[in-house]
Structure 1
Amino acid sequence: MVGVLDSVNQRTQLVGQNRLELLLFRLDGAQLYGINVFKVKEVLQCPRLTVMPRSTAVVRGVANIRGNTLPILDLALAIGKPALDDLQSCFTIITEYNNRTLGFLVRSVERIVNMNWEEILPPPKGAGRDHYLTAVTHFDGQMVEIIDVEKVLAEAAPVSETVSAAVIDADVQARAGSFRVLIVDDSSVARKQIIRCLQNLGVEVVALNDGRQALNYLKAMADEGRRPADEFMMMISDIEMPEMDGYTLTTEVRHDPRMQDMHILLHTSLSGVFNQNMVKRVGADDFLAKFQPDDLATRVAERIKRADGN
C-alpha cells in the first residue's frame, strides 16, 4: 500500500465540489466497502497487537503506531460478521474520527476511487433498522457499502452523551423552547445523539437525512415566503452525506438570497485544520468535531444568548 495516500494535497481540491474519494476495501468475502479518504491517515499491514484484558471483543488489541498506542477494531466483527482470522495477512486502516485516532482491521485494501456525492445513495429501504450502512454506491458494476462508523463507534467505543450540568444555564434553558434548530445528518446514530443533546437544553429540533433533502426543504420554505433564518436559530449539518455533502449544501444556501443569512454550524467526524479552512471557504459560520455534547450544547447556548441580545 506504499503510496496509496501520497497525493492527499491534490485530493483537497475535490472538497467543495460535491466530490469525494473512497478507499475501497474488503472484509471476508467479495463485498466491497468504502471509507472517505479524508478520514484515513495511513494503511499498513496488521501490526503486532497486544490484547487488553476486559476490552470489548470488537477491539482485537492495541498497537504501537509511530509512538502512539491505538485501539485496533475488527470491522467485520463490529458489523455482525465473523471475526477476521489470520491477522498477519490483514491490513489496518488508521483513521481519525471525532478527534480520536484508531485502526480498523480489514482483510484487504483495493484502491482509491474518485466519485461525486450524487452517486452516493442512502441505504436501500429493505435494509431494515439494524444495518450498519450509512450509504451505498456502485463501482465497476459492484455495489459498495459505506459503513456507518458513527454507529460502530457508539457500540464499540461509546462516549458520554450527557451534557454537563454546568453547561445547562437556567436562563438559557428557560428561553430555549422558543427556538428551533435544523439538524442534517445521514447517520441515524449521530442524529439521535444531537437530538438528545439539544433536548437537554430544551430546544425544538427538526432532523433531516442529507444535504439534498435539507436544501429542498429550505427552498420550499422560501418559496412559501417564509425566511429559514426566522424559522431556525441555526442549522447543524454533517459534512459527509449521500447525494449532497455539507460543504455543497452550505454553498447553495449562501448563494440563495432568501436564506443566505442562516447561521450554519458544520458538525463532522472529519476533524482537522483542513476542514476549518474549508468552513471559511464555503461560508459556514462555525465548525465542530463530533461528538462532544458539552461543546455542541455550548455553541447552541451561545446562539440563544445572542438571539436574546445578552
Structure 2
Amino acid sequence: MSKLLNSVNQRTQLAGENRLELLLFRLENRQLYGINVFKVKKIMPCPHLTQMPYHHPITLGVANTMDGPLPILDLLNAIGTRPSQRVKGNNVIVTEYNRRLQGFLVDKVEHIINIEWSAIHPPPKGVGKDHYLTAISRHNNEIVEIIDVEKIIAEISPANEELTSELGESLTTSTMEVPRHVLVVDDSVVARNQIKKCLESVNFTTTLLKNGAEAHQHLQQMVAEGRRPQDEYLMMISDIEMPEMDGYTLTRKVKEDANLKSFYVLLHTSLSGVFNKNMVQKVGANDFLAKFDANELANAVLRRLEIKQEDTAIH
C-alpha cells in the first residue's frame, strides 16, 4: 500500500482541474469510505498503543512514532456506529488535518481511484442533521461515503475560536465605509459555523454556501442582475475540498471572468502540503490560510479590510 502513496507529489496537477484521488477503505461495518489522498501521510499496521488517562472514548491510545506521539482514533466509533471489535491486525491511516497528525483505525485499505469532483455530491437530505458525512459518490456500483473528519476532530479536540481582545477591538472599531460582508464557501457544517462565529464576533456579516458550484452560480447571478460582488462583499473565503466544484476550480473561474477577476479570494483549507502555495498562484487566489485559527483568520480579514479602506480613500 505504501507504493500507492509514493507518487502523491506527482499527482498535484489534478488540483485545479476539478479532480481528486480518493483512498478507499472499509470499516468493520463493511461500508466503503473514501479520503482525499492529499490528506494521507502514510498507512501502517496498528502499532502498540499506550493508554492515556481521561482520554476521549473515541481515542484508542497513543502510538510512539518517528513523528512523535500519534493519537489513534476509532473511526467506526467516531461516526456513531459502535466501538471496533478488533484493534490488533487492523490498519491505521495517518492523516494531517488542521495542522495536526492523527491516525484512524480502519479495517481494510483497498485502492486509490481518480474521480471528478462533479461526481461527488452532498449527502442526501434524508440522512438528517447529525450524520458525519460531508459527501458521497459511487464506485463499481457501491456508494462511497466521505466522512466529515473536521467534525470528528472538532468534537474530540475543539479548535480555539476565541479572538484576542486587541484584535477584536481593532476590527470592531474600523469606521471606513467598506463592505463588512464576507462570502463563505465550505461543505463542512463545522467549518462554516467556525468562520461565521469568528467573523460575527467582530461585526462582520456572512453569506454561507456549501460548495464551489453553488458559489459560482451565486456570483454569476449577481453579475446577471448588474451587481458587482466585489462591491458588496469584502472578500470570499473558500474551502478547497468541496463536492461538485472544488475551491481551486471556483477560484480559477472567478479570476478568468472579466466581471469577477478583482474579487478577493482567500483559500482556507485543512489540506496540508507545500503544493498548496504553488496552486494558490496557479489558480490566481489572493491568499491561502490553513484551518483553523480564529486569530489568523481574523488577521487575514483585517489585512483585506485595511487594503480596501486605503483603496476607498484614494478613490
Structure 1 length as normaliser, TM-score? 0.97
Matched, 1:165 2:178: no
> In structure 2, what residue type is equivalent to 1:306?
I
Query: C-alpha distance in 2, partners of 1:55/1:158?
Result: 14
With over 3 angstroms needed to count, the CA separation of the structure-2 counterparts of 1:170 and 1:8, relative to structure 1, is: closer
With over 3 angstroms needed to count, the CA separation of the structure-2 counterparts of 1:110 and 1:173, relative to structure 1, is: farther
- Quote the residue 2:21 is aligned against: 21
Aligned residues: CA RMSD: 1.4
SS of 1:24's partner is: strand
Matched, 1:146 2:155: no
Q: Percent sequence identity over matched residues?
A: 52
Q: Deviations over 1:139-190 (max 9, x none)?
A: 0000000000111011012122111212213464444994110000000110
8 Å CA contact 2:171–2:202 kept in 1: the answer is no
Query: C-alpha distance in 2, partners of 1:171/1:122?
Result: 34
- Quote the residue 1:46 is aligned against: 46
8 Å CA contact 1:173–1:202 kept in 2: the answer is no
SS of 2:2's partner is: coil
Matched, 1:293 2:294: yes
> In structure 1, what residue type is equivalent to 2:237?
I
- Quote the residue 1:57 is aligned against: 57
With over 3 angstroms needed to count, the CA separation of the structure-2 counterparts of 1:140 and 1:175, relative to structure 1, is: farther
Displacement after TM superposition at 1:109 (Å): 0.7
SS of 1:202's partner is: coil
For structure 2, the 5+ residue unaligned runs are none
Query: C-alpha distance in 2, partners of 1:85/1:237?
Result: 39
- Quote the residue 1:238 is aligned against: 239
Displacement after TM superposition at 1:2 (Å): 3.2
Structure 2 length as normaliser, TM-score? 0.95
- Quote the residue 1:211 is aligned against: 212
8 Å CA contact 2:18–2:246 kept in 1: the answer is yes
Moved more, 163-172 or 126-135: 163-172
Output aligned runs, 1:74-223, within 5 Å.
Answer: 74-170=74-170, 172-175=172-175, 178-223=179-224
Query: C-alpha distance in 2, partners of 1:89/1:175?
Result: 61
Count of aligned pairs: 310
Query: C-alpha distance in 1, partners of 2:170/2:33?
Result: 46
- Quote the residue 1:272 is aligned against: 273
8 Å CA contact 2:272–2:290 kept in 1: the answer is yes
Displacement after TM superposition at 1:85 (Å): 2.4
For structure 1, the 5+ residue unaligned runs are none
Query: C-alpha distance in 1, partners of 2:171/2:248?
Result: 33
- Quote the residue 1:259 is aligned against: 260
With over 3 angstroms needed to count, the CA separation of the structure-2 counterparts of 1:117 and 1:171, relative to structure 1, is: closer
8 Å CA contact 1:84–1:107 kept in 2: the answer is no
Query: C-alpha distance in 2, partners of 1:67/1:237?
Result: 30
8 Å CA contact 2:46–2:88 kept in 1: the answer is yes
With over 3 angstroms needed to count, the CA separation of the structure-2 counterparts of 1:6 and 1:160, relative to structure 1, is: same
